[in-house]
């Protein structure tokens, strides 16, 4: 008998509670697909591309400088007397598909690329551990032919780089990227050297504040593909984001502002003090 009474009391109170409680704030959120954003501050780690793409109809104007060696000392103003530069930009055809063009002082090179983000890191309804982007670059060297008398082919001016960029934002602060890379040169100095050069890039970024990050980038070139005096490129960078601009200040041992140059043409060694200061300035315009 008591149990029956208890049952009614329980029913009455629960019903009352249900009817009166406004419990919106404790309600679980509907599960959605949460895409990871801002794995990197901008679409370059230091020298090389990051998985980031510019949004649709946005143009990211970029100016990059790499100065001379710090080891030049005060006579060379620690390298500031010399500089290589690239001027160019990335454009978003869609949020995931970008194209870019640039012109570098290094070997008077024009470069262009197509970049496509085909996987996006996400949590929630759909779990994807990484973001992945494919990028194919082409470069045209427009230096005067060193031997104009011999038969020269336009194709000898061309080089290509293909990269698979895979990145994961592990925490709010830490992102890591792996970049398997193939550089193809149409012409090399000797049959001893490879036309197709394989390398693996590693990029790490750690957020210092909400607007600044520390970046590390290293490209490991698999041995016995290049001339013996070539070395791997190592860069340490510092990103400052100010709203519309991202300033990337860095130290690197390469003067090359495009892939083929910094991956396969780097000779300077950090241990010899042959380090260059450089910066990228990125400014995004909306259309």
Partner 1 sequence: MNKTSILFAAIITFGLMAFTNHSGGIYKTNTGNINFFSHTPVEDITADNHKVKTAFDAETGKLQFSVLIKDFEFPKALMQEHFNENYMESTKYPKSTFTGTIDKMSAVNLAKDGTYKSSITGKLTMKDVTKEVSTMATFVVKGGIVNAKASFTVNPVDYHIAIPKTVAAKISNEIKINVDADYTHSH
Residues numbered 57-76 forming contacts with partner 1, rule: CB under 8 A: 58
Compute the least distance from the CB of residue 172 to partner 1, in Å: 5
On whether the CB atoms of residues 251 and 277 are closer than 8 A, the answer is: yes
| Torsional class of 73: left (φ above 0), alpha (ψ -120 to 50), beta (otherwise) | left
Q: Does 143 bind partner 1 (CB under 8 A)?
A: no
Alpha-carbon distance of 252 to 255, in angstroms, equals 8
- Identify the residue among 76, 82, 85, 95 touching partner 1 (CB under 8 A): 95
Alpha-carbon distance of 24 to 89, in angstroms, equals 47
Choice between 5 and 271, CB closer to partner 1: 5
Q: Does 8 bind partner 1 (CB under 8 A)?
A: yes
Choice between 27 and 189, CB closer to partner 1: 27
Alpha-carbon distance of 90 to 105, in angstroms, equals 18
How many residues in the shown chain lie near partner 1 by CB under 8 A? 34
Residue 13: how many CB atoms within 10 A of its CB?
Answer: 10
Alpha-carbon distance of 239 to 38, in angstroms, equals 13
Contact stretch for partner 1 (CB under 8 A) within 4-12, 80-88, 132-140, 147-155: 4-12
Choice between 9 and 125, CB closer to partner 1: 9
- Identify the residue among 132, 183, 275, 284 touching partner 1 (CB under 8 A): 284
Choice between 28 and 74, CB closer to partner 1: 28
Compute the least distance from the CB of residue 264 to partner 1, in Å: 33
Q: Does 94 bind partner 1 (CB under 8 A)?
A: no
Strands of the chain (E only): list them: 33-35, 58-69, 83-92, 97-104, 109-119, 122-124, 131-141, 158-169, 174-185, 196-209, 212-221, 233-241, 245-252, 276-286
Q: Does 287 bind partner 1 (CB under 8 A)?
A: no
Residues numbered 184-243 forming contacts with partner 1, rule: CB under 8 A: 210-211, 241-243
Compute the least distance from the CB of residue 112 to partner 1, in Å: 23
Alpha-carbon distance of 25 to 191, in angstroms, equals 70
On whether the CB atoms of residues 249 and 279 are closer than 8 A, the answer is: yes
Q: Give, for 108, the enclosing helix (H) or strand (E).
A: none
Which residues of this protein are in contact with partner 1, per CB under 8 A?
1-2, 4-5, 8-9, 11-12, 15-16, 19-20, 22, 24-25, 27, 29-30, 34, 37-38, 55-56, 58, 95, 172, 210-211, 241-244, 284, 286
């Amino acid at each position: 008998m008591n149990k029956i009474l208890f049952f009614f009391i329980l029913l009455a109170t629960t019903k009352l509670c249900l009817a009166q409680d406004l419990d919106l704030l404790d309600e679980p959120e509907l599960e959605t697909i949460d895409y990871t954003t801002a794995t990197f501050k901008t679409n370059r780690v230091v020298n090389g591309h990051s998985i980031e793409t510019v949004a649709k109809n946005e143009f990211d104007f970029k100016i990059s400088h790499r100065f001379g060696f710090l080891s030049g000392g005060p006579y060379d103003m620690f390298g500031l007397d010399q500089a290589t530069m690239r001027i160019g930009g990335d454009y978003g055809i869609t949020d995931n598909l970008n194209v870019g063009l640039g012109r570098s002082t290094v070997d008077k090179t024009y470069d262009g690329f197509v970049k496509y983000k085909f996987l996006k890191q996400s949590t929630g309804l759909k779990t994807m551990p990484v973001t992945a982007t494919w990028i194919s670059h082409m470069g045209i060297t427009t230096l005067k032919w060193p031997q104009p008398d011999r038969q020269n082919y336009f194709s000898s001016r061309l080089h290509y780089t293909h990269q698979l960029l895979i990145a994961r934002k592990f925490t709010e602060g830490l992102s890591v990227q792996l970049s398997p890379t193939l550089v193809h040169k149409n012409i090399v100095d000797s049959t001893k050297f490879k036309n197709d050069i394989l390398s693996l890039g590693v990029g790490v970024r750690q957020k210092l504040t909400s607007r600044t990050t520390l970046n590390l980038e290293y490209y490991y070139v698999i041995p016995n593909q290049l001339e013996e005096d070539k070395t791997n490129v190592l860069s340490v960078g510092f990103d400052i984001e100010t709203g519309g601009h991202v300033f990337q200040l860095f130290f690197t041992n390469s003067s090359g502002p495009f892939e083929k140059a910094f991956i396969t043409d780097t000779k300077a060694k950090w241990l010899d003090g042959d380090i260059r200061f450089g910066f990228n300035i990125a400014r995004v315009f909306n259309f």
